[in-house]
Amino acid sequence: MSTASFPEGFVWGVSTSAFQIEGATAADGRRPSIWDTFSADRAEACDHYHRYPEDVRLMKDLGMAAYRFSVSWARILPDGRGKPNAAGLDFYDRLLDELGAAGITAYATLYHWDLPQAVEDLGGWPARDTASLFADYAAAVHERLGDRVDTWFTLNEPWVAAFLGYGSGIHAPGRKSAAEAFRSAHHMLLAHGLGVQALRSAGAAKVGTVLNLSPVMTPAQVSDFGRTLSEEDAEAVARIDALVNRQFLEPMLRGAYPAELLPIVERHGGLGHVHDGDLEAIAQPLDLLGVNYYTPLVVQAQPSEPADPAHPGSEGILFCTIPTAVTAMGWPIVPSCLSHLLGRVSREYPDLDLMVTENGADFVDVVTGDGIHDVERISFIEEHLRAVRAAVEDGARVRGYLVWTLLDNLEWADGYQRKFGLVHVDFATQRRRLKDSALWYRDVIRRNGLTETRPKRPTLETVAARSGVSRATVSRVVNGESSVSPEVRAAVMQAVNELGYVPNLAARSLVTRRTNAIALVLSVPRQGGDALTAAVVQYVTSLLEGAGKQITLMLADTAESHRRIVAHLEARLADGVVLLPPDRADTLAERLSRTGVPIVLLGKPAIASLVPYVDVDNAGGAAAATEHLLALGRRRIGMVCGPTDLITVQDRLAGHRAALQRAGLRPHLALAELTRSSGAAATRRLLGDDPSLDAVFAATDQLAIGALQAAREAGKRVPEDLAVVGFDDIDAASATTPGLTTVRVPVADQALALARLLLSRLEGRHTTSVVLPTRLVVRESA
């Protein structure tokens, strides 16, 4: 079979990071990093600190030419400064010797997010001195290890460390300040420049850095890179590109910040942290730029949109979800964007060598007796390698590809639930097991390339021919039916193992009579749920049809229609059901669940354990809205509550009450139907009961708009006299006067989660209900 080869000398390998795999967090003088503080109970990871010989042996057996690892600053300088810890350096000495003996080239990253807690206590990355401490650390590491490291990378993904760690607070150290995020980003850049100088002075031959780069585009551009944009969308794309990509590329490689970035930084805390000479220090010549790519950033102009906390300065820009295949983390899979990205960087910086230093995916792996058949991961890596090869053929200077990652590990704030590894780790025993993707990657390395045409995966027919039985018999063996004789079962399983066959839905269809049809059942329309219903129809249909399913749209609005839908399922005319439940109690979900056909619900049912569902954190959103009013100094807060037989209203009421209770306050409620006029009437009752009321939280935006009307009628100024907050962020919320502060529910994400949840159930995977986070959108009304 012909091979789509990569250039001679192309580097194949894997990447890891210290905190995610090493463990031994208190061994041999190591002291806490910010991640030990942030996730103190989950840091033993893969015990690579003691098991590194086994892990190096795995890499050697797989044919890896390169291993990119990170050095733990807290292991080398436990206090962040001072005399190096010899025991910590000894570990990396042993690791490098082991790599050298295995013939594996070492690529060392000096900073992969694990700042010593002692340095954070001194001010962390927002403090300028941290950059100088980093340079001292770089020099100390090179002095001991420099003779065996091929290439030094200063930083890994400074955007993530700065803007998720100090901006949104979802990463360590958990600070939430746009000003600190921008200062941290600049000081990381300065640390990079000073670190490069220190490494060069010590004799380092090859020095680079690693950036997470994402093509920024509109939804339409994802399938058409050349699509002409409106002026508003073009500005949105350019602004996010400056915030995420060019904020780091241009200072490092051109010695200047993007012009459109500086006003944003100045608005969020000034530019006093940028000193004369900084940019010259940052712009040190580099030998290699590491590119970490996972998914594109998809945006479009949306005038009423508030800034995302991780992207300060992104006001008026909507971050979009696109209807495409996604990883288990929900990240869209778009391999063509990697070609696009590598081509762009090579065109803009033509003398710079590139290496893909991270690319991989989290999928749900199932451990079976005959292996871990992670076909989704193989497909993901294969398609991205084809994208890399296309970029190389077009002239991109890509010198290698490193998979993220070698081992299933501790995935930062997500703990151990994410599985990116080529090698499965049982964290109870630390046993390593190669997944199919590891063996497949070994073959790619041996060939130095991919097969020119994608090999046809073994089919049911192939197995039947090899074992000399019928397709139906193979299907019965795959499904574990006891009617098959042991001799026939043995022959079929031998063929399965020899061919590397992975049973799929087709193999099971002969027994289970699968139809590849899905019933999308729309019950009584949800109040105010038009946008959500439309999104479900759009995205669920798109994803399920992309997975080879046929969609049957069914309306459940009468008792007769309920009977017809149940009969449809009992006759096995559909493989699964996506059900949009009614606002009030209904027995349809219970009746459908008795048919045995996999069902997923939109919205939490009255009996939550009935079937898996997708919902949003209604209680958490209501609590956030109430806490926002409390933070504004409002103490006499009334709630316009919808009908309390609705599950969503119950949850929102519970969140509101819990927030008030924590503040030592009691709720003031007025019940209403889900209409504007009812919201206005309820607000009038609240104001009549308590004329000194200073805030209203409404269970929906429609009710909140009614509250605004009642406030005007009562001569109340909003927000001076009466602050108003709603829930849902319907289109009208941004058009009210004043603009309505509200809680946004992720409409598209709910629809995508429904489709993914049903596909998982159809594949027989373990599934649990999905509750998505909400986000407070602050506008003028509060």
Model confidence pLDDT, tens digit, residues 83-121 = 999 999 999 999 999 999 999 999 999 999 999 999 999
CA 89 to chain centre: 34
Q: How confident is the model at residue 756 (pLDDT cuts 50, 70, 90)?
A: confident
pLDDT attached to residue 491: 83
The total number of residues shown for the chain amounts to 782
Say which residues have a Cβ less than 8 Å from residue 518's Cβ, sequence separation at least 6: 544, 549, 550, 551, 552, 574, 575, 576, 577, 578, 758
DSSP output for 278-331: HHHHH----SEEEEE-S--EEEEE-TTPPPPTTSTT-TTEEEPP-SS-B-TT--
d(CA 287, CA 107): 13
pLDDT at 459: 65
Residues with Cβ < 8 Å from 696, sequence gap 6 or more? 637, 638, 639, 640, 683, 686, 704, 707, 711, 722, 723, 724, 725
Q: At what angle do helices 505-512 and 471-478 cross, to 10 degrees?
A: 100
Out of 22, 120, 180, 358, the active site residue is 358
Q: Is 457 a residue whose pLDDT tops 70?
A: no
- Distance of alpha carbon 237 from alpha carbon 245, whole angstroms: 11
Catalytically annotated residue among 22, 120, 157, 376: 157
Other Cβ atoms closer than 10 A to 596? 10
Please tell me whether the peptide bond between 323 and the residue prior to it is cis, using omega within 30 degrees of 0. Answer: no
Asked if pLDDT for residue 542 goes beyond 70, the answer is yes
Active site residue 358: yes
pLDDT band at 47 (very low <50, low <70, confident <90, very high): very high
* Range of lowest pLDDT (188-192, 405-409, 450-454): 450-454
d(CA 81, CA 30): 13
Residue 102: closest CA among 145, 56, 43: 56
SS3 content of the chain, % helix, strand, coil (to 5): 45, 15, 40
Q: What is the pLDDT of residue 509?
A: 42
Q: Which two tokens stand for residue 62?
A: 């797989």
Per the model's pLDDT, the better-predicted residue between 428 and 321 turns out to be 428
The Cα 79–Cα 33 span in angstroms is 10
pLDDT digits (tens, 9 = 90+) for 317-367: 999 877 677 788 888 889 999 999 999 999 999 999 999 999 999 988 888
Residue 577 pairs in a beta bridge with 519, 599
Tokens of 60: 């050697």
Give the mean pLDDT of 584-609. 75
Give the pLDDT confidence score for residue 507 in this predicted structure: 47
The percent of residues in the chain predicted with pLDDT above 70, rounded, is 91
Question: Which is nearest to 10 in space by CA: 452, 336, 449, 454?
Answer: 449
**Dist. CA 357–CA 351, nearest whole Å:** 18
Mean pLDDT over 420-433 rounds to 95
pLDDT (average), residues 208-218: 97
pLDDT band at residue 494 under the 50/70/90 scheme: confident
Instruction: Find the mean pLDDT for residues 193-213.
Output: 98
Return the axis-axis angle of helices 129-145 and 178-201, rounded to nearest 10°. 30
What's the confidence (pLDDT) of residue 400? Answer: 98
Q: Enter the tokens of residue 377.
A: 């991961």
Could you confirm whether 411 is annotated as catalytic?
no
For residue 736 the two structure tokens come to 């009210």
Taking CA atoms, 438 is separated from 12, 381, 382, 444, 495, in Å, by 13, 11, 12, 10, 22
Q: Which tokens in the block code for residue 439?
A: 């063996």
Which of the four pLDDT bands, split at 50, 70 and 90, describes residue 73? very high
Cβ atoms within 10 A of the Cβ of 525, count?
14
Mean pLDDT computed over 566-594: 77
- Which residues make Cβ contacts (< 8 Å) with residue 21, sequence separation at least 6? 45, 46, 48, 55, 406, 407, 409, 410
Maximal C-alpha separation, the chain: 87
- Please state the rounded mean pLDDT for residues 700-716: 95
SS3 call for 633: coil
